[in-house]
Amino acid sequence: MGPAVTEAAPADGPVAGWLLRRARLAGRDGLWDVEATGGALRAVRPARADAPAPGDHDAGGRAVIPGLVDAHVHLDKAYALGALERLGAFDGPAPGLAAAIGATRALRATMGLDDLVPGMHRLLAAMVRAGTVAARVHVEIDPALDPATVAVHRQVTAEYPGLTVQLVAFPQNGTSADPSMPARLAQALDDGCEVVGGCPYADDDPRRHLDLVFGLARERDLPVDLHLDLTDDPGAAQLDLVLPLVERAGLAGRVTVGHMTALAATPPTRLAHWIGELARHDIALVSLPTTDLWLSGRDRFPVPRGVAPIRDLLDGGVRVALASNNHQNAFTPVGAGGLLRVAWLASLVAHIGDPAGQARLLDAVSASPAAILGLGQWDVEVGGRAPLLVLDAEEPLDAVREAPPILARLG
Ligand SMILES: [Zn+2]
């Protein structure tokens, strides 16, 4: 039988509201009715026995979860495998990080902004279909690229009003090779990027890179989001350079680090120290398992798992989000924006199979990234502000176990 649920109008006005009947919710037995007005949930109560009235939305006993939030995604290099192959810039099985960055740089040099737009639309549509309602999008800022890329990101993402988007000014190829980079990053922030991105491993002088990033963040009172320690070699980790800057800039709670695969190869004592420091500075960690499994573990023995140790980080009290990062390009050869599939993969990678652990993985694609993005209360409780997703599944944790299709979104 097909879904008995229809799309509700966005609940963003003072009078907009909806009633969802017969939902199965995490942490609650039986079926529940959920009511929203003005963009927030106003009631969660045991389902009434009568049949849904015309105009009500009926989950029909299916699982309902908060909308998914992608804390780290790139729209400007999605679906690039064909172009990379035609360019001869990407020769398949064992590219590693440096080769992926080089191939992507060569590809971007052949592309105008118009060439980016179809892939951006394809990915945004796929993300929306897969239940993503908000995303932090990294926009490459580089002297070789048209600075209008920020405006194009704003225009294209504005066509998806159901998706809340935060743009990050991201210097993928470093900040020191070209003297115009500080001004370019500042311009990207003027143009609408709301987060200062960084990638210190892309520079010969990572300290200078980080000084620029944290300087901009302090000057403009903005959060920081770093690509960090994407390496199998804990000796090459740069987290120790970042920690004092977070402290000095007073940015505890506003810094996010992505990848951190070096932690997967770090001996236990050092690992415990770093996890403690991440928690103490309230630095959020975004794990990107699809990319990290693909790029890591290629030239070391023993082969590390290649993904930040998600279970240890969660146990250590670190706010952890799982995000999709790249899609069908030199960094990740698969994917279509689906965060539930990333959570599903993380269950295997991080050896998290118990229900409480899988509930934390669901949080890692919803409530946790929502906190990173500053979106407010993100649960199916009174006061919650998340749009809700009706899954083609019996139980909310099937979201992680099965990565099921999304039947409807409310809000
Ligand atoms: Zn990234």
Query: How does residue 10 score in pLDDT terms, banded at 50, 70 and 90?
Result: very low
Task: Give the DSSP H/E element, type plus range, for residue 313.
Answer: helix 310-315
Q: What is the pLDDT, as a whole number, of residue 95?
A: 61
3-state secondary structure 28-55: CCCCEEEEEECCEEEEEEECCCCCCCCC
Q: What is the pLDDT, as a whole number, of residue 119?
A: 94
Query: How does residue 303 score in pLDDT terms, banded at 50, 70 and 90?
Result: low
261 has a pLDDT exceeding 90? yes
Q: Which fold has domain 17-67+379-410?
A: Urease, subunit C; domain 1 (2.30.40)
Q: Identity (one letter) of the amino acid at 127?
A: M
Q: What is the pLDDT, as a whole number, of residue 212?
A: 97
Domain edges within the chain: 17-67+379-410, 68-373
260 CA from centroid of ligand 1 (Å): 11
What's the pLDDT tens digit per position in 328-343? 998 998 899 999 999 9
Q: What is the pLDDT, as a whole number, of residue 144?
A: 87
Q: Answer for the pair 271, 241: CB distance below 8 angstroms, yes or no.
A: no
**How many alpha carbons fall within 13 Å on the CB side of residue 120?**
21
User: What rounded mean pLDDT belongs to the chain?
Assistant: 91
Q: Answer for the pair 31, 46: CB distance below 8 angstroms, yes or no.
A: yes
Q: What is the pLDDT, as a whole number, of residue 12?
A: 42
14 has a pLDDT exceeding 80? no
Q: What is the pLDDT, as a whole number, of residue 6?
A: 35
138 CA from centroid of ligand 1 (Å): 7
62 CA from centroid of ligand 1 (Å): 34
**Per-residue pLDDT averaged across 156-172, rounded?**
97
157 CA from centroid of ligand 1 (Å): 18
Query: In this structure, what token pair is assigned to residue 358?
Result: 């899988």
Q: What is the pLDDT, as a whole number, of residue 301?
A: 67
196 CA from centroid of ligand 1 (Å): 13
| Rounded distance between C-alpha atoms, residue 81 and residue 326, angstroms | 11
325 CA from centroid of ligand 1 (Å): 5
140 CA from centroid of ligand 1 (Å): 10
Picking from 141, 159, 204, 213, the residue whose alpha carbon sits closest to that of residue 177 is 204
352 CA from centroid of ligand 1 (Å): 24
**Per-residue pLDDT averaged across 93-111, rounded?**
80
| Rounded distance between C-alpha atoms, residue 209 and residue 182, angstroms | 10
248 CA from centroid of ligand 1 (Å): 25
324 CA from centroid of ligand 1 (Å): 9
CATH class of 68-373: alpha beta
DSSP summary character for residue 149: H
Q: What is the pLDDT, as a whole number, of residue 68?
A: 97
Query: How does residue 84 score in pLDDT terms, banded at 50, 70 and 90?
Result: confident
3 has a pLDDT exceeding 60? no
| Residue percentage of the chain with pLDDT more than 70 | 94
- The label of the residue with tokens 């929306």 reads 128
Task: Give the DSSP H/E element, type plus range, for residue 92.
Answer: none
181 CA from centroid of ligand 1 (Å): 19
16 CA from centroid of ligand 1 (Å): 36
57 CA from centroid of ligand 1 (Å): 37
166 has a pLDDT exceeding 90? yes
74 CA from centroid of ligand 1 (Å): 6
68 CA from centroid of ligand 1 (Å): 18
Q: Identity (one letter) of the amino acid at 113?
A: L
Query: In this structure, what token pair is assigned to residue 375?
Result: 């979106």
| Rounded distance between C-alpha atoms, residue 363 and residue 284, angstroms | 13
396 CA from centroid of ligand 1 (Å): 28
- The label of the residue with tokens 């420091």 reads 277
More confident residue, 15 or 283: 283
298 has a pLDDT exceeding 80? no
Strand pairing category for 388-391 and 406-410: antiparallel
DSSP SS3 for 201: helix
343 CA from centroid of ligand 1 (Å): 17
Strand pairing category for 320-322 and 284-287: parallel
Strand pairing category for 64-66 and 388-391: antiparallel
The two domains 17-67+379-410 and 68-373 share their CATH topology (first three levels equal): no
What's the pLDDT tens digit per position in 38-61? 889 999 999 999 999 999 999 999
341 CA from centroid of ligand 1 (Å): 17
